[in-house]
């Protein structure tokens, strides 16, 4: 292949990887029928899937109640399947969704009929500024180096409302998957300050998110791991190579998630925060 074509295919390959379906999030919506893809805000609900759905609705209602007066246009960055965007339109806001996930784009568009941008936030070049950027558990996916400049490009002089977990115990975090999931709070704060972002309001909801992790850990232990083991055994006799591949690939994915959703580790390493910032104009 000529150098030029190689380069072009390389670029196309890279571009293609920028938008892709997240299988785990698709599983949560399609199989568990969850309408939100975040940890929720628990009170005394029963610790089951119906309780989780109620906790997630409370979380969305809480976020909407944080929106300051005067806000009209909102871009829901990492909009998932559109449930919060739909709620925002019902409250009278003008909303657009954004996510790099084609599956979410299809579901979002079907459910809300609202404009949608299929892109990573890093590459988003808006045609007009927005009053507020909502990031409901999506800030963690966006590289910290470009995070604040991108927010400023999209909502200069407006607001950033985010809800997400952050790593607070850098020393204990080590090098495991839990240590890679979430931004380090100290670094995030430093970059926010350097970029002139003003923190107007904050609350810590860590304890109210933990039941989701307890549920997820229980599901992985009680259903996912035994299912994988049965599948592995049934393949092993006839297709040992497939069995090894499944156990290596799928097993590793769930092993990673098992650590990320370990409630005790989460409580030790992380803080789940809701924050409202004023975005500088220049």
Ligand X SMILES: C[S@@+](CC[C@H](N)C(=O)[O-])C[C@H]1O[C@@H](n2cnc3c(N)ncnc32)[C@H](O)[C@@H]1O
* 134 neighbors 108 (Cβ within 8 angstroms): no
Member of 29, 120, 159, 275 binding ligand X (CB under 6 A): 120
The nearest distance, CB 5 to ligand X, in angstroms, is: 29
How many Å apart are CA 207 and CA 162, to the nearest integer? Answer: 18
Q: Binding of ligand X at residue 108 (CB under 6 A)?
A: no
Measured from the Cβ of residue 241, the count of other Cβ atoms closer than 10 Å reads 8
Q: Closest approach of Cβ 244 to ligand X, in Å?
A: 31
Which one among 71, 107, 114, 142 touches ligand X, defined by CB under 6 A? 142
| 71, 99, 151, 216: which one binds ligand X (CB under 6 A) | 99
CA-wise closest residue to 274 among 40, 71, 51, 24: 40
Q: Is 182 in the site for ligand X (CB under 6 A)?
A: no
Phi, psi (rounded to 5 degrees) for 25? -65, -35
Answer yes or no whether residue 141 interacts with ligand X by CB under 6 A: yes
Q: Of the listed pieces 76-84, 211-219, 226-234, 255-263, which binds ligand X according to CB under 6 A?
A: 76-84
Ranges assigned E (strand) in the chain? 73-77, 94-99, 116-118, 132-136, 159-167, 183-184, 198-204, 270-278
* Helix-helix angle 23-30:102-112, to 10 degrees: 30
Give the largest CA-CA distance in the chain: 65
38 touches ligand X (CB under 6 A): yes
101 is an interface residue for ligand X by CB under 6 A: yes
Q: How far is the CB of 248 from ligand X (least distance, A)?
A: 25
Minimum CB separation from ligand X for residue 212, in Å?
11
Nearer to ligand X, 149 or 226 (CB): 149
Match 């791991």 to its residue by tokens: 225
104 lies in the binding site for ligand X (CB under 6 A):
yes
Q: Does 181 bind ligand X (CB under 6 A)?
A: no
Binders of ligand X among 227-266, rule CB under 6 A?
none
Note whether 217 binds ligand X by CB under 6 A: no
* DSSP state, residue 221: I
Nearer Cβ to ligand X, position 98 or 260?
A: 98
Concatenating the DSSP letter of every residue in 37-94 gives -S----SS--SSHHHHHHHHHHHHHHHHHTPPTT--EEEEET-TTSHHHHHHHHTT-E
Q: Which residue is nearest to ligand X (CB)?
A: 78
State the number of binding residues for ligand X (CB under 6 A): 23
Binding footprint of ligand X on the chain (CB under 6 A): 22, 25, 36-38, 77-80, 84, 98-101, 104, 120-122, 136-138, 141-142
């Amino acid at each position: 292949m000529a150098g030029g074509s190689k380069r072009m295919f390389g670029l196309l390959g890279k571009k293609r990887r920028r938008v892709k379906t997240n299988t785990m999030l698709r599983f949560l919506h399609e199989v568990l029928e969850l309408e939100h893809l975040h940890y929720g805000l628990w009170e005394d609900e029963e610790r089951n899937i119906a309780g989780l759905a109620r906790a997630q609705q409370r979380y969305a209602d809480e976020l909407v109640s944080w929106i300051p007066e005067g806000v009209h246009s909102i871009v829901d960055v990492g909009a998932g399947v559109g449930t919060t965007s739909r709620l925002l339109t019902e409250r009278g806001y003008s909303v657009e969704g954004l996510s790099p996930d084609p599956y979410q784009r299809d579901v979002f568009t079907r459910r809300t009929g609202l404009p949608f941008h299929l892109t990573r936030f890093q590459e988003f070049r808006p045609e007009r500024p927005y009053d507020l950027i909502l990031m409901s558990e999506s800030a963690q996916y966006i590289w910290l180096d470009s995070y604040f400049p991108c927010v400023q490009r999209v909502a200069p002089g407006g607001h950033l409302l985010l809800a997400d977990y952050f790593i607070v115990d850098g020393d204990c975090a080590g090098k495991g998957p839990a240590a890679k999931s979430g931004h380090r709070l100290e670094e995030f704060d430093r970059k926010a300050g350097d970029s002139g972002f003003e923190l107007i309001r904050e609350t810590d909801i860590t304890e109210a998110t933990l039941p989701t992790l307890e549920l997820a850990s229980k599901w992985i232990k009680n259903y996912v791991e035994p299912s994988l083991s049965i599948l592995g055994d049934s393949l092993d006799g006839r297709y040992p190579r497939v069995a090894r591949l499944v156990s290596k690939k799928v097993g590793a994915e769930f092993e990673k998630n098992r650590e990320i959703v370990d409630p005790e580790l989460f409580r030790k390493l992380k803080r789940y925060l809701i924050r409202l910032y004023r975005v500088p104009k220049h």
